[in-house]
């Protein structure tokens, strides 16, 4: 393994570090002067080239090391985590809809992979795991906004797998003393976001004046969270917090309203088309973030309007 050229404050591993959220965390951690190990298997769920481009700016940084490996390999993780202080666990098989088609893969990656990581972290004296969870653990709505006490009734295999990962984190802290925190992200968006997500698809279509396709009647609502706010929450959790926290934008918007807003921001003539409903999608999400605000001092700073504008500008500059 690479020997870092100088002594830094701490050494941090980011699983899934070449992905959307992971690469933003890597960027922030390097700016703070930390040694960062980026672990990613470059899974072809979406373009490996896209992921390589995410971390391309860091490759020449003396404090950055990229390791192409898989969290399903427990023995590899033990070698990688030797000397690591903190782990930001972002690696996952994402995608609610893909989990409906193939429920085994999210279980293997998100549940078993997390268990492998926790065992390796325990064996190598990692101080804390910051685990990326999801609002998908809530599933069926009993009341809104979701607080952390809301019942967990996930409606997709993806949601089940993320809930299992949370429980493994909790049990490893209670039984073995391995500190952890699980952050329940509410639909994250922003620069370098996955190309299969609604805001990415809608924005790119709007910029080309192409049709915007919505699954169902567009009445489902979402709480969208800008990437900078996600990164801020993760950074706070290195030194604060335990258990689970909702990390959401705190605003509710329907998918139809989202598409219309994206059209307006981009001055687009795109036609909005409704297509067949898909299985596994939650009806509504909305975060109560009062626990995070109270215990770790976090609250969102980016409105959906401002976040969509910033993302559209980034996409325009990349085309």
List residues with catalytic annotation: 158
Burial of 1 from C-beta contacts in 10 A (0-12 / 13-18 / 19+): exposed
Two tokens, residue 102:
């193939």
Three-class SS of residue 10? coil
Number of helices and strands in the chain (H, E): 12, 13
Two tokens, residue 203:
């924005």
Picking from 258, 265, 253, 273, the residue whose alpha carbon sits closest to that of residue 316 is 265
Q: What is the rounded CA–CA span in Å between residue 163 and residue 111?
A: 8
Q: What are phi and psi of 268, to 5 degrees?
A: -100, 150
Two tokens, residue 74:
């427990």
Q: What is the rounded CA–CA span in Å between residue 218 and residue 67?
A: 41
Two tokens, residue 44:
């072809």
């Amino acid at each position: 393994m690479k020997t870092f050229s100088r002594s830094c404050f701490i050494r941090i591993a980011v699983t899934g570090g070449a992905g959307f959220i992971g690469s933003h965390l890597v960027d922030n951690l390097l700016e703070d002067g930390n040694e960062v190990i980026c672990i990613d298997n470059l899974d072809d769920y979406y373009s490996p080239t896209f992921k390589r481009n995410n971390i391309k700016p860091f490759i020449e940084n003396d404090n950055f090391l990229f390791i192409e490996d898989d969290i399903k390999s427990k023995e590899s993780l033990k070698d990688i985590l030797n000397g690591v202080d903190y782990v930001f666990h972002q690696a996952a098989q994402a995608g609610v809809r893909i989990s409906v088609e193939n429920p085994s893969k999210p279980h293997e990656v998100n549940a078993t992979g997390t268990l492998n990581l926790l065992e390796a972290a325990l064996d190598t004296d990692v101080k804390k795991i910051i685990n990326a969870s999801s609002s998908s653990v809530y599933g069926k709505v009993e009341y809104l906004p979701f607080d952390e006490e809301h019942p967990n009734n996930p409606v997709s295999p993806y949601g089940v797998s993320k809930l299992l990962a949370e429980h493994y984190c909790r049990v490893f802290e209670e039984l073995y003393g391995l500190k952890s925190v699980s952050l329940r992200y509410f639909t994250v968006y922003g620069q370098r976001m996955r190309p299969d997500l609604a805001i990415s698809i809608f924005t790119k279509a709007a910029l080309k004046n192409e049709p915007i396709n919505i699954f169902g009647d567009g009445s489902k609502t979402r709480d969208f969270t800008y990437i900078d706010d996600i990164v801020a929450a993760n950074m706070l959790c290195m030194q604060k917090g335990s258990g689970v926290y909702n990390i959401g934008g705190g605003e509710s918007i329907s998918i139809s309203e989202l598409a219309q807003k994206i059209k307006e921001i981009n001055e687009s003539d795109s036609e909005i088309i409704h297509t067949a409903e898909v299985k596994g999608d939650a009806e509504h999400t909305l975060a109560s973030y009062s626990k995070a605000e109270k215990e770790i001092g976090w609250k969102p700073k980016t409105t959906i309007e401002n976040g969509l504008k910033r993302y559209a500008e980034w996409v325009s500059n990349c085309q």
